[in-house]
Amino acid sequence: KTAWPVPLIEAIFLPNFKVSSDITKSYKIISPVAKGAFGNVYKVWKEDTHQYYAMKILSKSKILNESCVAQVKDEVKIQTICGHHPFIIDSPQYWQDRGRLYIVSNFVDGGDLFNLMEKYGALPEDIVRLYVAELASALDFLHNAGVIYRDLKAENVLLDSNMHAVVVDFGLSKWLRYGERTSTICGTLNYMAPEVFSLQGYGHAVDWWSLGILTYFLITNKVSGGIFI
Protein backbone atom coordinates (compact mmCIF):
# COMPACT_ATOMS: atom_id res chain seq x y z
CA LYS A 1 0.00 0.00 0.00
CA THR A 2 1.36 3.40 -0.97
CA ALA A 3 1.86 5.85 1.91
CA TRP A 4 0.62 9.41 1.35
CA PRO A 5 1.68 12.08 0.70
CA VAL A 6 3.88 10.61 -2.03
CA PRO A 7 7.08 12.48 -3.03
CA LEU A 8 6.90 14.05 -6.49
CA ILE A 9 9.69 11.78 -7.79
CA GLU A 10 7.36 8.83 -7.10
CA ALA A 11 3.98 10.43 -7.79
CA ILE A 12 4.75 11.28 -11.44
CA PHE A 13 5.18 7.57 -12.25
CA LEU A 14 1.87 6.57 -10.63
CA PRO A 15 -0.41 4.74 -11.18
CA ASN A 16 1.59 2.65 -13.67
CA PHE A 17 4.46 1.99 -11.25
CA LYS A 18 3.37 1.25 -7.70
CA VAL A 19 5.73 2.30 -4.92
CA SER A 20 7.51 -0.61 -3.23
CA SER A 21 10.95 -1.36 -1.84
CA ASP A 22 10.09 -4.91 -0.80
CA ILE A 23 9.37 -6.49 -4.21
CA THR A 24 12.98 -6.02 -5.32
CA LYS A 25 14.17 -8.29 -2.51
CA SER A 26 12.26 -11.25 -3.95
CA TYR A 27 14.47 -11.25 -7.06
CA LYS A 28 18.13 -12.27 -7.26
CA ILE A 29 20.25 -10.79 -10.06
CA ILE A 30 22.06 -13.54 -11.97
CA SER A 31 23.78 -11.72 -14.83
CA PRO A 32 23.55 -8.61 -17.04
CA VAL A 33 21.73 -9.05 -20.36
CA ALA A 34 21.70 -5.68 -22.11
CA LYS A 35 22.30 -1.95 -21.68
CA GLY A 36 19.87 0.80 -22.64
CA ALA A 37 19.59 4.57 -22.61
CA PHE A 38 17.93 4.71 -19.18
CA GLY A 39 19.35 1.61 -17.51
CA ASN A 40 20.20 -2.07 -17.80
CA VAL A 41 18.44 -5.40 -18.24
CA TYR A 42 19.35 -8.33 -16.00
CA LYS A 43 18.56 -12.01 -15.86
CA VAL A 44 17.03 -12.59 -12.41
CA TRP A 45 15.76 -15.51 -10.36
CA LYS A 46 12.55 -15.45 -8.31
CA GLU A 47 12.61 -18.00 -5.53
CA ASP A 48 8.87 -18.33 -4.87
CA THR A 49 8.07 -19.14 -8.52
CA HIS A 50 11.37 -20.96 -9.24
CA GLN A 51 11.63 -19.13 -12.55
CA TYR A 52 14.02 -16.85 -14.39
CA TYR A 53 12.84 -13.42 -15.52
CA ALA A 54 14.30 -10.40 -17.30
CA MET A 55 14.39 -7.30 -15.09
CA LYS A 56 14.84 -3.86 -16.61
CA ILE A 57 16.13 -1.36 -14.03
CA LEU A 58 15.74 2.26 -15.14
CA SER A 59 17.10 5.47 -13.66
CA LYS A 60 14.37 7.97 -12.84
CA SER A 61 16.77 10.90 -13.12
CA LYS A 62 17.75 9.94 -16.68
CA ILE A 63 14.09 9.52 -17.65
CA LEU A 64 13.23 12.93 -16.19
CA ASN A 65 16.22 14.60 -17.86
CA GLU A 66 15.02 13.35 -21.25
CA SER A 67 11.35 14.20 -20.52
CA CYS A 68 10.37 10.57 -21.17
CA VAL A 69 7.99 9.88 -18.27
CA ALA A 70 4.96 9.36 -20.53
CA GLN A 71 7.01 7.16 -22.86
CA VAL A 72 8.05 4.80 -20.05
CA LYS A 73 4.52 4.64 -18.65
CA ASP A 74 3.22 3.80 -22.12
CA GLU A 75 5.82 1.04 -22.43
CA VAL A 76 4.52 -0.94 -19.47
CA LYS A 77 0.86 -0.31 -20.29
CA ILE A 78 1.35 -1.55 -23.86
CA GLN A 79 3.15 -4.68 -22.67
CA THR A 80 0.44 -5.35 -20.09
CA ILE A 81 -2.37 -5.04 -22.62
CA CYS A 82 -0.65 -6.76 -25.56
CA GLY A 83 1.68 -9.22 -23.81
CA HIS A 84 -0.76 -12.12 -23.98
CA HIS A 85 -0.09 -12.43 -27.73
CA PRO A 86 2.14 -15.48 -28.36
CA PHE A 87 4.79 -13.45 -30.21
CA ILE A 88 4.89 -10.41 -27.88
CA ILE A 89 6.78 -10.30 -24.58
CA ASP A 90 4.67 -10.22 -21.42
CA SER A 91 5.44 -7.95 -18.48
CA PRO A 92 3.80 -9.40 -15.37
CA GLN A 93 5.22 -7.01 -12.76
CA TYR A 94 6.57 -3.46 -12.49
CA TRP A 95 7.15 -1.07 -9.60
CA GLN A 96 9.34 1.79 -8.37
CA ASP A 97 11.46 2.81 -5.43
CA ARG A 98 12.88 6.25 -4.71
CA GLY A 99 15.46 6.29 -7.51
CA ARG A 100 14.58 3.54 -9.98
CA LEU A 101 11.84 1.89 -12.00
CA TYR A 102 11.64 -1.89 -12.35
CA ILE A 103 10.01 -3.77 -15.23
CA VAL A 104 9.95 -7.57 -15.03
CA SER A 105 9.29 -9.60 -18.17
CA ASN A 106 9.29 -13.30 -18.91
CA PHE A 107 12.83 -14.47 -19.65
CA VAL A 108 13.32 -15.61 -23.26
CA ASP A 109 16.40 -17.81 -23.45
CA GLY A 110 17.03 -18.47 -27.16
CA GLY A 111 19.01 -15.34 -28.02
CA ASP A 112 17.80 -12.96 -30.73
CA LEU A 113 17.55 -12.96 -34.52
CA PHE A 114 20.74 -10.95 -34.84
CA ASN A 115 22.69 -13.58 -32.86
CA LEU A 116 21.13 -16.28 -35.03
CA MET A 117 22.30 -14.52 -38.18
CA GLU A 118 25.80 -14.10 -36.76
CA LYS A 119 25.95 -17.85 -36.10
CA TYR A 120 24.35 -19.27 -39.26
CA GLY A 121 24.32 -16.49 -41.85
CA ALA A 122 21.44 -16.18 -44.34
CA LEU A 123 18.51 -18.35 -43.29
CA PRO A 124 16.59 -20.85 -45.47
CA GLU A 125 13.53 -19.34 -47.12
CA ASP A 126 11.08 -21.56 -45.23
CA ILE A 127 12.53 -20.42 -41.89
CA VAL A 128 12.39 -16.77 -42.97
CA ARG A 129 8.79 -17.25 -44.07
CA LEU A 130 7.91 -18.58 -40.60
CA TYR A 131 9.53 -15.67 -38.75
CA VAL A 132 8.00 -13.08 -41.07
CA ALA A 133 4.55 -14.63 -40.53
CA GLU A 134 4.99 -14.55 -36.74
CA LEU A 135 6.19 -10.94 -36.78
CA ALA A 136 3.39 -9.91 -39.12
CA SER A 137 0.91 -11.46 -36.68
CA ALA A 138 2.46 -9.48 -33.80
CA LEU A 139 2.45 -6.19 -35.74
CA ASP A 140 -1.14 -6.66 -36.89
CA PHE A 141 -2.17 -7.33 -33.29
CA LEU A 142 -0.38 -4.21 -32.04
CA HIS A 143 -1.89 -2.03 -34.76
CA ASN A 144 -5.40 -3.30 -34.05
CA ALA A 145 -4.80 -2.52 -30.37
CA GLY A 146 -3.92 1.07 -31.33
CA VAL A 147 -0.14 0.77 -31.00
CA ILE A 148 2.65 1.75 -33.40
CA TYR A 149 5.86 -0.17 -32.58
CA ARG A 150 8.55 1.91 -34.36
CA ASP A 151 11.65 -0.18 -33.59
CA LEU A 152 11.40 -3.53 -35.35
CA LYS A 153 14.90 -4.92 -35.95
CA ALA A 154 16.75 -8.22 -35.55
CA GLU A 155 18.01 -7.30 -32.07
CA ASN A 156 14.45 -6.73 -30.81
CA VAL A 157 13.20 -10.17 -31.83
CA LEU A 158 14.07 -12.81 -29.24
CA LEU A 159 13.72 -16.54 -29.78
CA ASP A 160 12.00 -18.74 -27.21
CA SER A 161 12.92 -22.32 -26.30
CA ASN A 162 11.02 -23.56 -29.37
CA MET A 163 12.75 -20.96 -31.59
CA HIS A 164 9.59 -18.91 -32.12
CA ALA A 165 9.83 -15.12 -32.43
CA VAL A 166 9.07 -12.84 -29.46
CA VAL A 167 8.93 -9.06 -29.98
CA VAL A 168 10.53 -7.12 -27.10
CA ASP A 169 11.49 -3.55 -26.14
CA PHE A 170 8.50 -1.24 -26.40
CA GLY A 171 10.47 1.85 -25.40
CA LEU A 172 9.65 3.65 -28.68
CA SER A 173 6.09 2.35 -29.02
CA LYS A 174 3.17 4.74 -28.88
CA TRP A 175 -0.62 4.69 -28.75
CA LEU A 176 -1.85 5.57 -32.24
CA ARG A 177 -5.28 4.89 -33.71
CA TYR A 178 -5.81 3.98 -37.35
CA GLY A 179 -5.83 7.11 -39.49
CA GLU A 180 -3.82 9.12 -36.96
CA ARG A 181 -0.28 10.27 -37.63
CA THR A 182 2.70 11.04 -35.45
CA SER A 183 5.88 12.96 -36.19
CA THR A 184 8.64 11.96 -33.74
CA ILE A 185 11.80 10.93 -35.59
CA CYS A 186 12.87 7.72 -33.87
CA GLY A 187 13.88 4.14 -34.55
CA THR A 188 16.99 2.41 -35.90
CA LEU A 189 18.30 4.19 -38.99
CA ASN A 190 18.62 1.26 -41.43
CA TYR A 191 15.09 0.12 -40.55
CA MET A 192 13.36 3.52 -40.69
CA ALA A 193 10.82 4.29 -43.41
CA PRO A 194 11.24 7.47 -45.54
CA GLU A 195 8.09 9.08 -44.17
CA VAL A 196 9.55 9.09 -40.64
CA PHE A 197 11.75 11.97 -41.84
CA SER A 198 8.94 13.84 -43.60
CA LEU A 199 7.13 16.89 -42.29
CA GLN A 200 3.75 15.28 -43.00
CA GLY A 201 4.03 12.68 -40.23
CA TYR A 202 3.58 8.91 -40.49
CA GLY A 203 1.35 6.05 -39.37
CA HIS A 204 1.43 2.30 -38.74
CA ALA A 205 2.78 1.58 -42.23
CA VAL A 206 6.33 2.37 -41.06
CA ASP A 207 6.33 -0.90 -39.10
CA TRP A 208 5.66 -2.85 -42.30
CA TRP A 209 8.59 -1.09 -43.98
CA SER A 210 10.82 -2.22 -41.09
CA LEU A 211 9.55 -5.78 -41.49
CA GLY A 212 10.51 -5.63 -45.16
CA ILE A 213 14.04 -4.49 -44.28
CA LEU A 214 14.31 -7.25 -41.67
CA THR A 215 13.12 -9.84 -44.20
CA TYR A 216 15.86 -8.73 -46.61
CA PHE A 217 18.44 -9.12 -43.84
CA LEU A 218 17.26 -12.63 -42.91
CA ILE A 219 17.38 -13.81 -46.53
CA THR A 220 20.67 -12.21 -47.57
CA ASN A 221 22.59 -11.65 -44.31
CA LYS A 222 23.21 -8.14 -45.59
CA VAL A 223 22.16 -4.95 -43.85
CA SER A 224 20.12 -2.89 -46.27
CA GLY A 225 20.78 0.80 -46.53
CA GLY A 226 17.10 1.37 -45.78
CA ILE A 227 16.04 4.70 -47.25
CA PHE A 228 19.61 5.23 -48.44
CA ILE A 229 19.66 2.27 -50.86
Known catalytic membership, residue 140? no
State how far the Cα of 74 lies from the Cα of 72, in Å rounded to an integer.
Answer: 5
Q: What distance, in Å, lies between the first and last C-alpha atoms of the chain? A: 55
- The string over 113-130, giving b where at least 16 C-beta atoms fall within 10 Å of a residue's C-beta and e elsewhere, is beebbeeeeebeeeebee
Count the alpha carbons within 13 Å of 45 in the hemisphere toward its beta carbon.
Answer: 5
Q: Could you tell me which residues are beta bridge partners of residue 221?
A: none
Please tell me which residue in 151, 160, 169, 207 is annotated as part of the active site.
Answer: 151
* CA distances, 66 to each of 1, 56, 71, 165, 185 (Å): 29, 18, 10, 31, 15
Helices (H), the chain: 8-11, 60-65, 69-82, 113-120, 125-144, 205-220
52, 44 in Cβ contact below 8 A?
yes
Query: Could you tell me which of 178, 173, 177, 209 has the C-alpha nearest to residue 193?
Result: 209
- Active site residues per annotation: 151
